[in-house]
Structure 1
Amino acid sequence: MGSAFDTGVENAWCTGCGNFGILNAVKKTLERLGREKHEIVLVSGIGQAGKLPHYVDVNVFDGLHGRALPAAAAIRMANPALTVVVTSGDGDIYGEGGNHFLHNIRRNIDLALFVHDNQVYGLTKGQPSPTSDPGWTGSLNRTGVISGPFPPLAVALSLGCGFVARGYAADIGFTSDLMLQAIRFKGFALVDILQPCITFNKKNTYQWYGRMIYKIPPEHDTSDRVKAFALSLEWEERIPIGVLYSKERPTFEELHPAIPGPPLYARDTPPEAIREMLRKRTLT
């Protein structure tokens, strides 16, 4: 079924890739959001997941490897009227871009981050990612992963992230619901999306996730950070999906003195005012 957000660009993913489910969830979410295409910006980094914005008919910014979040933060600060969504992979966000992940959560930039978490670097043909399970073997790691996995949800919660959720690529409707909540949330919102890689990850398959995942019960108190932490650490026996935590606090844009008001590009700043500002700040 077609979408108003289709671009017609030929898709480069493997048949059966979990990215297709995430792409369909993104387009479904944007249709439900009800904003005009020119009011939305998708930002990505490098990797198979980073190709997603090519297939969605909105404004797009492709950043360097691991640098999607600083670009998205700059876009938000320059024009807070835009809906800004970052969509990229676990290697790009949690590995190369880990520093930006930490500090943009801490700043509480008002944007949504959708991470395609397939626990492998697909673009480099099977390299372990920060979220790969210990012992996992792939085409570029024949002896097994010896490092512990990066726990993105627990780390986000520890830094005070206001919205923390986990989706699943094969459940498009459920994941779209999470995405819509994340976009509408005021503050930094993380949705980590479990995604099978049928070519390079032979462990975390559709069948494996089918046995492992369960939906967080509706009676879960999403304002309880302690319970959210407990859920974020569940992995060995069962894996919860849904909203772990949701609680708003003042955003970076609201607290920064230069941002409230018209977008920066729309402000009329006469040359005389700039000269006066420079004069006051010039050492004599």
Structure 2
Amino acid sequence: MADKDWFKSSDPIAWCRGCGNFGILNAWKEAFAGLGLRPEQILMVSGIGQAAKLPHYLLCNTFNGLHGRALPAASGAGIVNPGLVVIAEGGDGDGYAEGGNHFIHAMRRNVDMTYAVHDNQIYGLTKGQASPTSEESMVTGSTPRGNPLKPERPLALAVASDCSFVARGFAGEKDQLVDLMKKAVTNKGFSLLEILQPCVSFNKVNTFDWYRERVYDLAGEDHDPADRAAAFEKALEWGERIPTGVIYTSERETHAEYTGLDGREPLCGRPPREASSIEKLYPVFR
């Protein structure tokens, strides 16, 4: 039987006391154990940021790449080694700003993997600048007169892109979050799990209490995740009521299916080809 302690790392954690990331870290351990996974079966890929530090604090295969570039690395790993449980992890700045282009096309490609985005509506690692999801008029280190931009709505973008699984959790509701993590990982195709993650140091507006007064679980509502129009409406809902749970699901061919890779020997299992010299090509470029 799997144990969540299998995934416990001995590395010291460099998050602020009370950070919402702790709840997400603990939820992943429980989700992995609940799925019966072992550390060697998991690859977690991240970019740069406080959320992107999470793989450092888990005992499993990890890869820490460039800012906003977790998705191409994770997609490549999943394509060549479909036996791995591949998860990309990052924040709203890392994923929706620097990584926004990769985000859109990863959903289109539909590689079988999960993307967990910790949304704290701020850049935490660099001490509190406005992010793509910061509220309009929000005062931050980079917007001292108030944020002039309207916030991005990534879940609505995901529904518009026909992402195969779209869900939102809250770092303060661990049981629901664990369940959503397990559903995201076991979904066939690209799964987006956005996690509302309060930043206790640089976002004094969207706090744990602020979210607790507003979040509600779609599991208790008359919501059909297969209804794209209804899902789009829920993805845009924000303010006094904020929906959590599974927002949208779509049965689509995965990358492995439409490229013909499904059922073939994965690239990671094939013997390497013998290297050949490229010197014969030199005259062509002279």
Structure 2, unmatched stretches of 5+, are 277-286
Alpha carbons 2:107, 2:161 under 8 Å: kept: yes
Alpha carbons 1:125, 1:140 under 8 Å: kept: no
- Partner residue, 1:198: 200
For 2:243, the aligned partner's letter is P
Offset of 1:261 from its aligned partner?
1.4
**Match for residue 253 of structure 1 among 253, 256, 263:** 256
User: Is 2:265 the counterpart of 1:235?
Assistant: no
Partners of 1:85 and 1:269 lie apart in 2 by 26
- Partner residue, 2:176: 174
**Match for residue 102 of structure 2 among 100, 103, 106:** 100
Offset of 1:271 from its aligned partner?
5.4
Offset of 1:98 from its aligned partner?
0.2
Computed over aligned residues only, the root mean square deviation of the Cα atoms, in angstroms, reads 2.0
For 1:174, the aligned partner's letter is Q
Structure 1, unmatched stretches of 5+, are 275-284
Matching of residues 1-284 of structure 1 within 5 Å: 3-216=5-218, 217-258=220-261, 260-268=263-271
- Partner residue, 2:281: none
Offset of 1:257 from its aligned partner?
3.0
Deviations 1:253-282 (A, max 9, x none): 11113564122121247659x9xxxxxxxx
Partners of 1:17 and 1:79 lie apart in 2 by 34
Alpha carbons 1:6, 1:56 under 8 Å: kept: yes
**In percent, how many aligned pairs have the same letter?**
49
Offset of 1:105 from its aligned partner?
0.2
Partners of 1:210 and 1:258 lie apart in 2 by 44
Offset of 1:143 from its aligned partner?
0.7
TM-score by length of 2: 0.92
Partners of 1:65 and 1:260 lie apart in 2 by 34
Alpha carbons 1:7, 1:55 under 8 Å: kept: yes
Deviations 1:20-73 (A, max 9, x none): 011111111111111221111001110000100011100000010000000000
Partners of 1:270 and 1:87 lie apart in 2 by 33
Offset of 1:185 from its aligned partner?
0.1
- Distance change >3 Å, CA 271–CA 257, structure 1 → 2: farther
SS of aligned partner of 1:120 = coil
Alpha carbons 2:107, 2:163 under 8 Å: kept: yes
Partners of 1:184 and 1:257 lie apart in 2 by 21
Partners of 2:72 and 2:62 lie apart in 1 by 14
Partners of 1:164 and 1:58 lie apart in 2 by 25
Partners of 2:258 and 2:19 lie apart in 1 by 41
SS of aligned partner of 2:7 = coil
Partners of 1:271 and 1:135 lie apart in 2 by 59
Alpha carbons 1:135, 1:144 under 8 Å: kept: yes
For 1:155, the aligned partner's letter is L
